[in-house]
Structure 1
C-alpha cells in the first residue's frame, strides 16, 4: 500500500483513514499492529480524532478539585480542557478556549478562582461556563448568552473524573455504577494526592498501554514491583498455581468480613475491575511490603486488602490497596511521544512525614515506570526499523494485550464507519 504519494492535507487524511481501515480489517487478531499504527503521523492524527476525541478518557480525581472554584487543566492533542468545581459541588468541563479570540483561559495545571477570566482581554465567565463580562466595547447588540464556554461531557464516580469530547458520548453508566460500588470502602471524598510524577516516553501511546497489559516482561524487568505484585490476578488464568488459588480463597473470606467487593467485573474489553492478593504477608506496594501510609483509606480496618485493579481503556490503569492507591493516566503527545502521569492517593488526614514518606511511597512505581519507559522506547526503536513486521502475542501471557489491540481496532473501525469482522474479535 503506497503511503508516500503526493497529495494535499485532506486527501492525506482520507487516504490514511482508508489505509487504516484496510489494515485493521485484514490483520491477524493475535499479532501486533502494522507499523504505521505505531509511528505514522497521519495514523496518530486518526488516533486523536477517532479514539481520544470520541472515547471516555480518565482526566483526574475529584479530590484534586475539592471546593468551589478549584480547577485542573489537561490537553487532549490540540484540545485544551479545563475541569472546574462549580456551585453545589457540581463538576463542569469546558474547552479551555475563550470565546473572544480563542486564547486559553486557564494556563496553570491547577488552581482556584472565583470566576474564569481570560488573561488576554479579561472576558469573564461563571464557573458553569456562562459569559458574564466582555467589556463595554462589543456594541449594544452584543448578546452575552451567545458566547458561553463550549462544554465537554463529564462524569464522575468513585473519585474518578472522565471526559468525552464528542457531541454524542457513548454510554458509560454501568461501569460508573460498579466503580462507585467498588470504591465505596475508600471514601473517595476524603482522599488527597500525596505526591505525583509525570514522565514523557519516546514511544507511541499504544506501546505504553500494551506494555501495561501484560506481565510477561515483569520477571526480567521489575524486581522492585515483584517484591509485592503477583504476575496474574485471576484464578482462571492458565498460570494460576494451587498456592495462589488457596491464597485467594483465604483473602476473599477476609474481604467478605470487611464487606469489601472483590469479584472480577468486565465491561467488554474497555473496563475491568478485580481485587487480587499481593504476595502472602505483603500488604502494600512498598519495598518492604509494609504499609506506605499509617492511616488507612476510608472505612477499611485492615491494610491487607490486596490490590483492587481497575482498567479503563484507552488511558488508565490503577491499584487500590488498604493504605494508599496509585492511579495512572496516559496522554498521547505525538506519534512517538506519550506522557504518563502517576498519582499516589492517601487519606486526606494523613500527615506527610508522620503517616507517610512520599519517597518511600513512590519508590516501587518510580522504578517500575522508568523500567517500563525504557522497554517501550526500545520497542519503538525496533518497530521503526524496515525489518519490523507484526509478531505473534502469547495467548497465555499476553491475552490482555490481545484484548487491548482488538478493542482499539474495533473502536477505530466503528468510528471510521466500517464493520468489524467477527474473525477479528479477541478471545475471552
Structure 2
C-alpha cells in the first residue's frame, strides 16, 4: 500500500460526528500528507502589509518544507519569494524580520534586487547568465492588509475568498493600523488539535475566565449554520444598518467563514471589564456596540475584530506534534502606548487565553497518543464548529488523495 492510500484509508475510517482517529493526530506520514495536500497547495496567511511599510523591509516564515520571505519592493509592491539562494540554497533572509537595501545571501554574497532579480554573482565566469537565477517567486495576494501566500506551482483561486471577506473587514480600516504587540507560542500539539480547540467553546466555562468577561459563543453560527436566535438577528440588523456586514457567510466547502456576534451584555472589547482597551475606533460606523467580527480561513488563520482593536492569529505546523501560533494585536497607527492604550490591558485577555489553550492542546495530544485512545462523539449542541472543521479536513484530504469521486467515503 502506498503512503497516500494508507492515509486516505485512515481518514475514511473516521465515524460521522466523531473526533479523528489517533494516527491523524500523531503519525508522521499523515503529517507529511497534511503538508503535501494542504499546506503546500493552499493559500496560507503570512502577515500584514503594514508590518513592512518601507522598501527593503521583509519578514520570513516557514510553510511546511518551504522557507519564504515576504519583501516590500522599491516600487511599493509586496512580493513573496522562496527564501533559498539560487546558488547553493542558503536562506537569503536570515532573520524573522529586517530591513535591507538589497537581498544578499550571507554565504557567497550573491546579491538580488528587492524584486528578486539577481544583480551580482562573483566568480561565475563570462558564460554565466544571471537572468536564469533570479529568486523563485511565491504566489502572493493581498486583501485589506492580509498577505496570503501559496507555495504551489499553480495556486488555487483566491477571488472567491477575496469577494467574501472584503466587505466584512474593509470597514475596520486596517490600512491605517500597526502591530501593538506580537506573541509567538509553540504548542506541543498537532495543528489540527490547535484548530479544533479554536472551533468550540464547550471548554470555555472551565478554562477561560478572562475571555468570558466579554466573549459569548453563539451556537447559531458556531458550525454550519442553523436556527438563528432573536438577539443575534437584532445584532446583525443593527450593525448592518451602520454599514457593517454581519450575517454569516461561508463557502460551500466550509474552508472560510465570516460573521459578527454580540459580546456579553455591556461589553464592547476583549478586556477584563469589557470596556475599550484603546482610545478611538478602527471603524467609522458610529455604532457603539458592533460586537466581534470573527473570520477563519483554513488551514492557517482565525481573526477577531472589535471596535477599538483587532487580533489576527496565524497557525503554522512545525512537526507532527508541534505548532506555532502567532497572535498580533492591531491598533490604529496613530495610537500611542501609555497614552491611548495600556499594553497589559490590551493583551491580558488573549495572552491568558492562548496559554490556557496551549495547555489544553498539549493535554489532548498526550491523550490521543495513547494506544488506548478511541475517538469520542461530538456534542450536537456545543461542538458543531469542531465537527465542521474535521468534516472539511477529511473531505478535502480524501478528494486530493483519492480524487473527487471518493468524497462519499467520509463517515
- Who is 1:28 aligned against? 15
Using the alignment, how far apart are the partners of 1:377 and 1:154 within structure 2?
A: 33
- Return the offset for 1:422: 4.7
Change (3 A) 1:57 1:84: same
Query: How has the CA–CA distance of structure 1 residues 337 and 422 changed in structure 2, closer, same or farther, with 3 Å as cutoff?
Result: closer
Instruction: Sort the Cα spacing of 1:193 and 1:422 in 2 relative to 1 into closer, same or farther, 3 A.
Output: same
CA distance in 2, matches of 1:315, 1:422: 23
Show the counterpart of 1:42. 29
1:224 aligns with 2:210: yes
- Superposition pairs of residues 139-150 of structure 1, within 5 angstroms: 139-150=125-136
In the alignment, is the contact (CA less than 8 A) between 1:232 and 1:240 conserved in 2?
no
- Asked whether the 8 Å contact 1:96–1:105 carries over to 2, the reply is yes
Going from structure 1 to structure 2, the CA distance change for 1:420 and 1:307 (only over 3 Å counts) comes to: farther
Is the 1:238–1:396 Cα contact (8 Å) retained in structure 2? no
- Quote the Cα distance in structure 1 between the aligned partners of 2:103 and 2:120: 11
Counterpart in the other structure of 2:232? 248
In the superposition, relative to structure 1, how do residues 235 and 419 fare at CA in structure 2: closer, same or farther (>3 Å)? Answer: closer
Residue number in structure 2 paired with 1:205: 191
Cα distance change of structure 1 residues 40 and 102 upon mapping to structure 2, 3 Å threshold: same
Cα distance in 2 for residues equivalent to 1:21 and 1:237: 25
Residues in 2 aligned to 1:207 and 1:424: alpha-carbon distance in whole angstroms: 22
The change in CA–CA distance for 1:406 and 1:160 in structure 2 (over 3 A counts) is same
Matches of 1:178 and 1:216, distance apart in 2: 28
Correspondence 1:353 to 2:338: yes
- Measure the CA separation in 1 of the matches of 2:23 and 2:355: 26
Answer yes or no: is the 8 Å Cα contact 1:188–1:298 preserved in 2: no
Query: Which residue is 1:175 aligned to?
Result: 161
Work out the CA distance in 2 between the residues paired with 1:116 and 1:164: 21
Give the CA deviation at 1:139.
0.7
CA contact (8 A) 1:326 1:342 kept: yes
Q: Single out whichever of 63-72 and 374-383 deviates more from structure 2.
A: 63-72
2:310 corresponding residue in structure 1: 325
Q: Determine the C-alpha separation between the residues in 1 that align with 2:401 and 2:266.
A: 49
Distance, in Å, in 1 between the alignment partners of 2:125 and 2:63 is: 35
| 8 Å Cα contact 1:105/1:118 also seen in 2 | yes
| 1:17–1:156 Cα change, 3 Å | same
Alpha-carbon separation, structure 2, partners of 1:114 and 1:79: 24
SS in 2 for 1:89: coil
Structure 2 residue 139 is matched with structure 1 residue 153 = yes
TM-score (norm 1): 0.91
Instruction: With the length of structure 2 as denominator, give the TM-score of the two structures.
Output: 0.94
Answering whether residue 37 of structure 2 is matched by residue 53 of structure 1, we say: no
Shift of 1:283: 0.3
Q: Which residue of 2 aligns with 1:305?
A: 290
Counterpart pick for 1:184 among 164, 167, 170 = 170
Change (3 A) 1:361 1:305: same
1:120 and 2:107 aligned:
yes
Aligned equivalent of 2:351, options 343, 347, 366: 366
User: Does structure 2 conserve the Cα–Cα contact (< 8 Å) formed by 1:154 and 1:162?
Assistant: yes
Residues 1-47 of structure 1, C-alpha deviations (whole Å, 9 max, x = no match): xxxxxxxxxxxxx7332111112223213111111111111211111
The residue that corresponds to 1:337 in the other structure is 322
Displacement of 1:424 in angstroms is 5.2
Picking from 49, 61, 66, the partner of 1:62 is: 49
Residue 193 of structure 2 aligns to a residue whose secondary structure is helix
Q: Confirm or deny: 8 A CA contact 1:25 1:421 kept in the other structure.
A: no
> For residues 95 and 351 of structure 1, what CA distance do their matches in structure 2 show?
36
Using the TM superposition, give the Cα deviation of residue 412 of structure 1 relative to its aligned residue in structure 2, in angstroms: 1.5
- Over the residues paired in the alignment, what is the CA RMSD in angstroms? 2.1
Q: Secondary structure at the match of 1:309?
A: strand
Alpha-carbon deviation of 1:248?
Answer: 3.1
Shift in Å, 1:240: 9.6
Distance 1:152 1:235, change over 3 A: closer
Structure 1: runs of 5 or more not aligned: 1-13
